[in-house]
C-alpha cells in the first residue's frame, strides 16, 4: 500500500465534502472527479486529444471486456493499455467484478472465482482474484480494482452475507498479487442494502489495507433513497486519508449528494450513452435535442457553454444530424455532455475551496430537473 498518494487540500465546514488530489504514475487526478468510461479502451465517440481538451485527467476501462477482446496478449504486445489507446494520463481498470452482476445469466460463481460464457462468441473464460489482478498488472493501469462480487437489487440477506465473505476473501488474495510499477489498488465495499454487512466489509478491507476504497453495489436498480443510504452505510467507515470512489454512479444529483458525504471519485456511462440517444445535459437538467421544438432553434446546445459543439453549432444542426443518423451528431453531443460534467466537477471543487459547498448543493438540487 502506498502511503502518500492522496492529499486533501480543503474540507467543507458544513458538509463532508473534500477537495483533494490523487497522484498516479501518469499524473495527478484532482478531486472530486468524474471519470469518463472507456470500457473497450476508448471513450465512445471521443479521441484522446478531445478528452485532454476537455480537461479529463483519468478514464476508466474494463478488465473483463479487454480480456475477451482484443485479449491481454494483444494489449501487452502493443505496449500496455496507455500506449494501445493513445492515452498518457491516468487509467482506472474495473476488475470485472461488475460483470458478475451484469452478465449473471452467463456466469457461474464459486469461492474460487467466476466462470463466464463470453457475451461475444460463447467461449468460456474464468476470472478470479489472481487472474483479475494479473490481467490488470499486464494492462499497466494506474489504479487496479480488487475482484469482488456485486450483488443485485433486491438481494436477500443470506446471499448478501455470502457475497461479502467472498469479497473479503478475494480482497486478501488480490492484495497479495504482484502489481505493475506504481499501480494503486482499491478495495470495494459490498453488502447490498444491509448496513451491518457494509460496515463489516469496510472494516475488513481496512484491516487488509488498500490505496483507496470504493463503494460498490449501489445504483444496481434500487430507488434514489436506497442509493443514498448505501453511501451513508459505507462512507463513514472508510479512512479519511484515502480516496473514496462511488462506483457506477453518474447522476449529477446523486454525485453532489455523495460529495457532500465525503466521496471523491465517480464513473458512469450516462453522459456518453445518453448522448448517443440524443440527450443533452445542462446546468439545470437534461433535454432531448431530437425533439421537434428544436428543428429551427439557432441557440447552442447549452447557452453560455464554451465547448466546441456549443461554440460552433446550433441545436437545429445537431438535431438534424441526430435525426439522419450522422455520426457527427453523436460526437458533438458527447463532447458537450462530457464538457458539462467537467464543468460540474470544477464547480464542486470551487465551492469546496470557498467553504460554501452546502449552499452550492442546496441551490443545485433546487434548480436541477431530471
> Among 250, 268, 286, which residue terminates a domain?
268
Domain of 324 in residue numbering reads as 269-370
How do strand 184-189 and strand 107-110 relate by DSSP bridges? Answer: unpaired
Query: Cell numbers at residue 27, please?
Result: 499524473
Shared domain for 251 and 369, answered yes or no, is: no
Active site residue 267: yes
Active site residue 94: yes
Residue 137, in any domain of the structure: yes
> Among 247, 268, 289, which residue terminates a domain?
268
Shared domain for 217 and 255, answered yes or no, is: yes
Shared domain for 247 and 354, answered yes or no, is: no
Q: Give the chain's domain count.
A: 2
The CATH number assigned to the domain holding 253 equals 3.20.20.105
> Among 219, 234, 268, which residue terminates a domain?
268
Interacting residues of 246 by C-beta distance below 8 A, sequence separation 6+? 214, 215, 218, 231, 255, 258, 263, 265, 266
Q: Give the active site residue among 148, 233, 264, 267.
A: 267
Q: What is the DSSP string of 261-275?
A: TT--EEEESHHHHHH
Return the sign of the alpha-carbon dihedral for residues 35, 39, 45, 47: positive
Shared domain for 105 and 246, answered yes or no, is: yes
Q: Give the active site residue among 12, 94, 142, 211.
A: 94
Residue 1, in any domain of the structure: no
Shared domain for 301 and 174, answered yes or no, is: no
CB of 131 within 8 A of CB of 97?
Answer: no
Shared domain for 239 and 92, answered yes or no, is: yes
Shared domain for 227 and 285, answered yes or no, is: no
Residue 292, in any domain of the structure: yes
Shared domain for 77 and 223, answered yes or no, is: yes
Residue 64, in any domain of the structure: yes
Shared domain for 118 and 256, answered yes or no, is: yes
Shared domain for 340 and 280, answered yes or no, is: yes
The pLDDT, as a whole number, for residue 79 is 98
The neighbour count for residue 18, using CB atoms within 10 Å, is 22
The pLDDT, as a whole number, for residue 99 is 72
The pLDDT, as a whole number, for residue 104 is 62
Shared domain for 55 and 110, answered yes or no, is: yes
CB of 170 within 8 A of CB of 146?
Answer: yes
Shared domain for 94 and 232, answered yes or no, is: yes
The DSSP call for residue 245 is E
Q: In a 3-state reduction of DSSP, which class is residue 3? A: coil
Q: How high is the mean pLDDT in each 10-residue block of the chain (370 residues)? A: 82 98 97 97 98 98 92 98 98 86 76 82 86 97 96 95 97 98 97 98 98 96 96 98 97 98 98 98 98 98 98 98 98 98 98 98 96
Residue 131, in any domain of the structure: yes
Residue 62, in any domain of the structure: yes
Amino acid at each position: 500500500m502506498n502511503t502518500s498518494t492522496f492529499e486533501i487540500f480543503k474540507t467543507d465546514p458544513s458538509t463532508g465534502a473534500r477537495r483533494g488530489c490523487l497522484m498516479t504514475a501518469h499524473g495527478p487526478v484532482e478531486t472530486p472527479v468524474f471519470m469518463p468510461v472507456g470500457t473497450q479502451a476508448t471513450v465512445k465517440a471521443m479521441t484522446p486529444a478531445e478528452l485532454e481538451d476537455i480537461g479529463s485527467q483519468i478514464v476508466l476501462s474494463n478488465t473483463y471486456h479487454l480480456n475477451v477482446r482484443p485479449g491481454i496478449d494483444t494489449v501487452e504486445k502493443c505496449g500496455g493499455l496507455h500506449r494501445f489507446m493513445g492515452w498518457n494520463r491516468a487509467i482506472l481498470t474495473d476488475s470485472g467484478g461488475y460483470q458478475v452482476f451484469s452478465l449473471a445469466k452467463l456466469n457461474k460463481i464459486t469461492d474460487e472465482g467466476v466462470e463466464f460464457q463470453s457475451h461475444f462468441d460463447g467461449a468460456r473464460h474464468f476470472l478470479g482474484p489472481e487472474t483479475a489482478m494479473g490481467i490488470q498488472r499486464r494492462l499497466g493501469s494506474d489504479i487496479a480494482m480488487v475482484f469482488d462480487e456485486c450483488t443485485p437489487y433486491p438481494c436477500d440477506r443470506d446471499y448478501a452475507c455470502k457475497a461479502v465473505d467472498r469479497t473479503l476473501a478475494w480482497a486478501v488474495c488480490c492484495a497479495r498479487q504482484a502489481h505493475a510499477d506504481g499501480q494503486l489498488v482499491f478495495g470495494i465495499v459490498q453488502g447490498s442494502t444491509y448496513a451491518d454487512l457494509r460496515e463489516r466489509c469496510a472494516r475488513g478491507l481496512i484491516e487488509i489495507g488498500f490505496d483507496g476504497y470504493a463503494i460498490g453495489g449501489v445504483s444496481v436498480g434500487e430507488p434514489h433513497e436506497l442509493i443514498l443510504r448505501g453511501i451513508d452505510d459505507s462512507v463513514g467507515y472508510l479512512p479519511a486519508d484515502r480516496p473514496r470512489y462511488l462506483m457506477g454512479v453518474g447522476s449529477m444529483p446523486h454525485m453532489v449528494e455523495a460529495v457532500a458525504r465525503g466521496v471523491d471519485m465517480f464513473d458512469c456511462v450516462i453522459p456518453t450513452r445518453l448522448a448517443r440517444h440524443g440527450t443533452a445535459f445542462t446546468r439545470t437538467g437534461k433535454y432531448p435535442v431530437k425533439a421537434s421544438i428544436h428543428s429551427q432553434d439557432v441557440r447552442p446546445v447549452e447557452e453560455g457553454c464554451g465547448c466546441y459543439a456549443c461554440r460552433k453549432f446550433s441545436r437545429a444542426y445537431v438535431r438534424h444530424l441526430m435525426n439522419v443518423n450522422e455520426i457527427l451528431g453523436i460526437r458533438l453531443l458527447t463532447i458537450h455532455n462530457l464538457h458539462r460534467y467537467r464543468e460540474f466537477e470544477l464547480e464542486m471543487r470551487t465551492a469546496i475551496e470557498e467553504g460554501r459547498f452546502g449552499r452550492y448543493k442546496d441551490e443545485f438540487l433546487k434548480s436541477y430537473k431530471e
